[in-house]
Amino acid sequence: MKLTEGIRHIIKSINPVYTEQEGSSIARLLVEHLGYKSGPVARIENKDLEEFEISQLEHWIKDLLTNKPVQYVLRYSWFMDRKIFVNENCLIPRQETEEIVLEILKNTEKTFSGNILDIGTGSGCISVSLAMELNFAQIFASDISKGALEVAQRNSFINNVNIEFLHDDVLDPDYSKFPAFDLIVSNPPYVRLLEREKMQSNVLDFEPSDALFVPDNDPLLFYKAIIEFSIKKLNKGGKLYLEINEVFGEEIKIVLHQNGFINITLIKDIHGKDRIIKAQKL
């Protein structure tokens, strides 16, 4: 089978699940993963595929037909232009989350040497990116999921950065495990169960639901817990950065205000929705 035929074969085979356009981007990722340059079909180098490459493609196609996101099929995603290892124990990093990292970097000196904590680190996309950019900071990252911590640890190893990983439940934290911090960041679960209906089945069936959902009757559960944690563990003048559900920006602002935080600012994402809230401890 020639490479161009292979590409057409992928697009056609996954057509029950993906449109032609989605199929062609996925086909590009698959052939790139086999080590081929991709591009418009007519312009790519039309090599004969090896037997093992064809069987690898068939294996990926089978996986894709189950609705598994391509990032889990290939076991990587991109975050801040870096390849991040992922598996079903962690959320696939979202583009909106890059913005919280960029916001922190915008407001933090390169020479910052304080303690930073990423609560609910998942794949480690936030903590690893911060560790790569802020070489003098001490980075800590926690999660309730041991599987996610293994993924994050692997990403810190691949990127050769030093992060202290802590297994902890932010809803019932063991404060003795943590030092004091100068900056706390978190992208906690914030999707209400009632929003499930609007979500695609590849998210619902494959991404860990504990990473996504909060009860409908307590949507600020994690924010209240992180704020309480920050009252105990954030140094005076320390900064808090939270990714939020766009619906709850104003309510989280009120909770921060009630708890004595200052300089509370809501920031919109690339789609114009409230997505980040930052605040400072008095």
Ligand X SMILES: C[S@@+](CC[C@H](N)C(=O)[O-])C[C@H]1O[C@@H](n2cnc3c(N)ncnc32)[C@H](O)[C@@H]1O
Residue 64 and residue 27: Cα distance in Å, rounded? 11
Could you tell me the smallest distance in angstroms from the CB atom of residue 273 to ligand X?
16
Sign of the Cα pseudo-torsion (107, 110, 114, 116, in order):
positive
Which residue matches tokens 């932010």? 170
Could you tell me the smallest distance in angstroms from the CB atom of residue 266 to ligand X?
18
Question: Is the Cβ of residue 125 or residue 134 nearer to ligand X in the bound state?
Answer: 125
Compute the residue count for the chain.
Answer: 282
Question: Is the Cβ of residue 43 or residue 196 nearer to ligand X in the bound state?
Answer: 196
Spatial CB neighbours of 179, under 8 Å, sequence gap ≥ 6: 115, 140, 233
DSSP 119: E
Question: Is the Cβ of residue 23 or residue 189 nearer to ligand X in the bound state?
Answer: 189
Could you tell me the smallest distance in angstroms from the CB atom of residue 245 to ligand X?
11
Amino acid at 155: N
Report the 10 Å Cβ neighbour count for 231. Answer: 12
Could you tell me the smallest distance in angstroms from the CB atom of residue 172 to ligand X?
8
Question: Is the Cβ of residue 80 or residue 91 nearer to ligand X in the bound state?
Answer: 91
Positions that interact with ligand X (CB under 6 A): 90-91, 93, 97, 120-123, 125-126, 142-145, 148, 169-171, 187-189, 210-211
